[in-house]
């Protein structure tokens, strides 16, 4: 605290050798304070958050133990297993797409969920941004609140609504629109619906943040120049909301890709996503090296997406001058 | 559609708002209904006096009494609170210290890395963190023979830190340094200035950070599911186990309570923040 306060006062005085020495001493004291203040957070996250990732990397190159865990022998089986089935009799390898298809399914579901969330989230965020400031906070609060509630319970609530004896089916039958239940639970559609439901707030918030800063005089100018509403939206509003759109898409895509609870409850185990497959390796089917490898591949996918987005963002900034 | 509204510039067209986009209001309302309808159905039917979770018969608190009497639920609740309190205390303390070191100071070397490390738990998919932490802990448990709920508390602390850090840092950024300078001019020692000036001013941010950390810890499923040992079942894990076995109205009651607690805490934080920004 105090070092910063003295900072502003001493800088006004002419520098002399004695002062320079005092300043050096103060700077090193400031550094010590900083290290002391940062140490607990950095050490906790470093040791319990980052170190495990390197352990996972090591594990992915080991052989699985019989009852979970690992046997300390080098092996690349975990990675080979992704693409090939090993024949248990003659040890020959045949190409297999079973795991690839789980990754593909997850990526596909994450992509369509992101698009769906964008289609609902954009008009919502725009609507909130054009409300009078007094009402904006309340709307934002309503959109954010579900994020702070338990994801498991929200998914369970969704399950109550869409299952065969669920709210929608019972209501439809009571009105007489359908005679039997429409099967919604344990389908890809259910997982898709659940994912949008879970992560929609992540899309609205960054979109709102960039739309709120939008200079609506530009919209007026566009109208003055005879642009229709659709043109204004496409040529003025959407380009200026781009940073928010990118941020929202990332925030929805990443948790979707690694989703566990939603496919578990709404996909009913039949519709596996990467997250469930990884969890299975550490539970029932017990192949820790393979699970570690899958987790690392998932992380690599996330990092690649982030890198691509970062690069395209940097390019966009350059092209704007 | 868009052109129709534009050409109708009758005197009544005071409602003509350049910023309006057709259908966007409807989308916003649909979004809110979509987000809340399932929760409302869950809450309403937890008060239903019937084994069926969806056919309404009569209002009753029957499932709440049964839930309260359930020993499994009691134990799980206790475990959840224990873990959440310890994780919140540690995470909030660490986050406050880190916020003091990184806010209102000249940029220092390695600041970017510090932020990256603190936000790391938010950047990595939770399932990856969960299985990696499981591997790491099992290695330590094998090597040292240590056991216990401490591991779970530590894992919760890690992902609570960024959630506590954000509001605390935001609060600090909004504070001017002039009051502390005044304190120093009046011969307050650095510690006295911190305790009597900085800390009280920071308090709302710290409270908000602690609340968010508590809620996040209370709600965690994936990491807890992976690393919790036998006898360390938290409430969400208990609920997940029950859902897998079949849906009972008792689960609706417990879920409603847990949901209500999160809603209450977060709403309080929101109101507190609003009062502050008005003042």
**Nearest residue in A to B40, CA atom:** A157
**Nearest residue in B to A143, CA atom:** B32
Which of the listed residues B8, B36, B60 is the one where a domain comes to its end?
Answer: B60
Whether residue B263 lies inside any domain: the answer is: yes
What ranges in A60-187 are assigned the alpha helix state H? 77-83, 98-129, 133-144, 151-162, 167-175
pLDDT at A33 (0 to 100): 87
Segment B102-130 mean pLDDT: 86
Rounded Cα distance, A255 and B125, in Å: 6
Tokens, residue B14 = 């005071």
**Residue written as token pair 């344990």:** A186
Segment A258-271 mean pLDDT: 85
Q: Do B51 and B136 share a structural domain?
A: no
For residue A3, pLDDT over 70 is answered with no
Q: Do B133 and B52 share a structural domain?
A: no
B132 contacts chain A (CB < 8 A): yes
Using CB atoms within 10 A of its CB, is residue A98 exposed (0-12), middle (13-18) or buried (19+)? Answer: exposed
Inter-chain CB proximity A45 and B104 less than 8 Å = no
What digits encode the pLDDT tens for the residues A29-76?
Answer: 888 888 899 999 999 999 988 899 999 999 889 888 877 677 888 888
DSSP-assigned letters across all residues of A247-274 = HHHHHHHHHHHT--HHHHHHSTTTS--H
Winning range, highest mean pLDDT, from A82-91, B58-67, B267-276: B58-67
**Nearest residue in B to A256, CA atom:** B125
Rounded Cα distance, A30 and A28, in Å: 5
pLDDT at B143 (0 to 100): 87
For position B201, which CATH number holds?
1.10.3720.10
Rounded Cα distance, A93 and A143, in Å: 51
Banded model confidence at residue B44, pLDDT cuts 50, 70, 90: confident
> If we measure between CA atoms, which residue out of A19, A32, A206, A192 comes closest to residue A113?
A192
To probe the interface with A, which of B28, B29, B221, B259 has the most A CB atoms within 10 Å?
Answer: B28
What digits encode the pLDDT tens for the residues B228-243?
Answer: 888 899 999 999 999 8
pLDDT at A43 (0 to 100): 92
B116 contacts chain A (CB < 8 A): no
Banded model confidence at residue B275, pLDDT cuts 50, 70, 90: low
For residue A319, pLDDT over 60 is answered with no
What digits encode the pLDDT tens for the residues A9-34?
Answer: 444 455 567 778 888 887 888 888 88
Q: Which of B41, B127, B154 sits opposite A258 (nearest CB)?
A: B127
Q: Do B149 and B169 share a structural domain?
A: yes
Distance from CA of A112 to the nearest CA of B (A): 17
Which of the listed residues B60, B84, B107 is the one where a domain comes to its end?
Answer: B60
Whether residue B188 lies inside any domain: the answer is: yes
Q: Do B241 and B190 share a structural domain?
A: yes
Whether residue A88 lies inside any domain: the answer is: no
pLDDT at B277 (0 to 100): 57
Banded model confidence at residue A152, pLDDT cuts 50, 70, 90: very high
What digits encode the pLDDT tens for the residues B137-179?
Answer: 988 988 888 888 999 999 999 999 999 999 899 888 888 888 8
Whether residue A180 lies inside any domain: the answer is: yes
Determine how β-strand A70-74 pairs with β-strand A84-86. Answer: unpaired
Tokens, residue A151 = 């994801």
In the DSSP assignment, the letter for residue A233 is I
Q: Is the ipTM of this complex over 0.90?
A: no
Whether residue B18 lies inside any domain: the answer is: no
pLDDT at B217 (0 to 100): 94
Whether residue B20 lies inside any domain: the answer is: no
For residue A245, pLDDT over 80 is answered with yes
Q: Do B155 and B101 share a structural domain?
A: yes
Distance from CA of A113 to the nearest CA of B (A): 15
Burial A106-131 (b: 16+ CB within 10 A, else e): bbebbeebbebbbebbbbbbbbbbbe
Whether residue A290 lies inside any domain: the answer is: no
Mean pLDDT of chain B: 85
Q: Do B196 and B111 share a structural domain?
A: yes
What digits encode the pLDDT tens for the residues A198-216?
Answer: 999 999 999 998 898 888 8
Whether residue A246 lies inside any domain: the answer is: yes
A181 contacts chain B (CB < 8 A): no
pLDDT at A10 (0 to 100): 46
**Domain count of chain B?**
2
For residue A265, pLDDT over 80 is answered with yes
Whether residue B206 lies inside any domain: the answer is: yes
Whether residue A286 lies inside any domain: the answer is: no
Rg (CA), chain B: 25
In contact, B262 and B220? CB cutoff 8 Å: no
Q: Do B142 and B38 share a structural domain?
A: no
Inter-chain CB proximity B133 and A52 less than 8 Å = yes
pLDDT at B10 (0 to 100): 46
Q: Do B124 and B249 share a structural domain?
A: yes
Element (H, E) at B219: helix B199-219
**Domain count of chain A?**
1
Range with lowest mean pLDDT among A182-186, A293-297, B61-65, B185-189 = A182-186
For residue B219, pLDDT over 60 is answered with yes
Rounded Cα distance, B126 and A295, in Å: 10
For residue B279, pLDDT over 70 is answered with no
**Nearest residue in A to B161, CA atom:** A41
pLDDT at A204 (0 to 100): 92
Whether residue B82 lies inside any domain: the answer is: yes
Which residues of chain B neighbour A201 with C-beta distances below 8 Å? 35
* Domain containing residue A154: 98-273
Whether residue B219 lies inside any domain: the answer is: yes
Count chain A–chain B contacts defined by CB atoms under 8 A: 285
Banded model confidence at residue B225, pLDDT cuts 50, 70, 90: very high
B200 contacts chain A (CB < 8 A): no
* Domain containing residue B42: 28-60
A159 contacts chain B (CB < 8 A): yes
Using CB atoms within 10 A of its CB, is residue B168 exposed (0-12), middle (13-18) or buried (19+)? Answer: buried
pLDDT at B54 (0 to 100): 62
For residue B70, pLDDT over 80 is answered with yes
pLDDT at B9 (0 to 100): 45
Rounded Cα distance, A211 and A203, in Å: 12
% of chain B exceeding 70 in pLDDT: 90
For residue A119, pLDDT over 90 is answered with yes
For residue B135, pLDDT over 60 is answered with yes
A149 contacts chain B (CB < 8 A): yes
For position A264, which CATH number holds?
1.10.3720.10
Q: Do B265 and B129 share a structural domain?
A: yes
Q: Do B50 and B98 share a structural domain?
A: no
Whether residue B150 lies inside any domain: the answer is: yes
pLDDT at B53 (0 to 100): 59
A142 contacts chain B (CB < 8 A): yes
């Amino acid at each position: 605290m105090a070092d910063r306060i003295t900072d502003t006062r001493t800088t006004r005085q002419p520098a002399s050798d004695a002062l320079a020495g005092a300043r050096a001493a103060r700077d090193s004291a400031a550094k010590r304070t900083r290290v002391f203040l940062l140490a607990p957070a950095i050490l906790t996250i470093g040791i319990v958050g980052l170190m495990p990732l390197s352990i996972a990397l090591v594990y992915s190159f080991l052989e699985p133990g019989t009852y979970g865990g690992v046997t300390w022998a080098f092996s690349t089986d975990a990675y080979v297993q992704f693409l090939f089935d090993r024949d248990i009799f003659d040890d020959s390898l045949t190409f297999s797409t079973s795991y690839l298809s789980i990754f593909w399914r997850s990526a596909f579901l994450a992509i369509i969920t992101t698009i769906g969330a964008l289609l609902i989230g954009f008009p919502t965020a725009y609507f909130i941004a054009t409300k009078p400031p007094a009402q904006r906070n309340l709307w934002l609060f309503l959109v954010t609140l579900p994020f702070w509630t338990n994801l498991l319970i929200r998914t369970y609530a969704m399950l109550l609504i869409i299952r065969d004896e669920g709210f929608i089916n019972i209501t439809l039958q009571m009105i007489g629109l359908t005679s039997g239940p429409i099967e919604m639970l344990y389908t890809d559609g259910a997982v898709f619906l659940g994912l949008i439901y879970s992560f929609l707030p992540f899309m609205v918030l960054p979109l709102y943040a960039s739309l709120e800063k939008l200079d609506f005089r530009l919209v007026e100018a566009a109208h003055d120049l005879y642009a229709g509403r659709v043109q204004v939206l496409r040529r003025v509003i959407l380009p200026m909301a781009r940073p928010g759109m990118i941020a929202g898409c990332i925030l929805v895509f990443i948790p979707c890709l690694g989703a566990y609870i939603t496919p578990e409850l709404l996909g009913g185990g039949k519709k596996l996503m990467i997250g469930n497959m990884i969890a299975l390796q550490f539970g029932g089917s017990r192949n820790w090296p393979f699970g570690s490898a899958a987790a690392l591949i998932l992380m690599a996918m996330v990092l690649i997406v982030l890198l691509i987005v970062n690069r395209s963002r940097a390019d966009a900034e350059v092209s704007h001058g | 559609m868009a052109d129709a509204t534009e050409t109708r510039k009758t005197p009544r067209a005071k409602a003509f708002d350049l910023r309006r986009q057709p259908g966007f209001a409807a989308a916003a309302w649909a979004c809110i209904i979509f987000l809340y309808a399932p929760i409302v159905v869950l809450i309403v039917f937890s008060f239903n006096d019937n084994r069926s979770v969806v056919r309404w018969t009569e209002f009753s608190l029957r499932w709440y009494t049964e839930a309260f009497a359930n020993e499994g639920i009691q134990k799980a609740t206790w475990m959840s609170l224990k873990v959440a309190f310890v994780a919140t205390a540690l995470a909030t303390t660490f986050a406050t210290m880190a916020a003091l070191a990184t806010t209102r100071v000249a940029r220092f070397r390695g600041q970017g890395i510090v932020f990256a490390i603190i936000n790391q738990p938010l950047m990595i998919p939770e399932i990856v963190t969960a299985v990696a932490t499981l591997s790491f802990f099992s290695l330590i448990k094998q090597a040292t023979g240590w056991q216990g709920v401490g591991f779970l508390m530590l894992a919760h602390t890690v992902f609570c830190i960024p959630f506590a850090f954000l509001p605390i840092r935001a609060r600090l950024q909004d504070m001017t340094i002039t009051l502390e300078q005044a304190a120093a001019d009046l011969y307050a020692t650095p510690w006295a200035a911190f305790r009597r000036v900085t800390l009280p001013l920071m308090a709302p941010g710290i409270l908000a950070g602690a609340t968010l950390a508590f809620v996040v810890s209370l709600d965690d499923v994936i990491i807890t599911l992976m690393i919790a040992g036998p006898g360390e079942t938290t409430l969400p894990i208990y609920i997940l186990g029950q859902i897998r076995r079949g849906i009972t109205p008792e689960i609706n009651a417990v879920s409603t309570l847990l949901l209500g607690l999160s809603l209450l805490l977060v709403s309080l934080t929101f109101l507190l923040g609003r009062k502050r920004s008005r003042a």
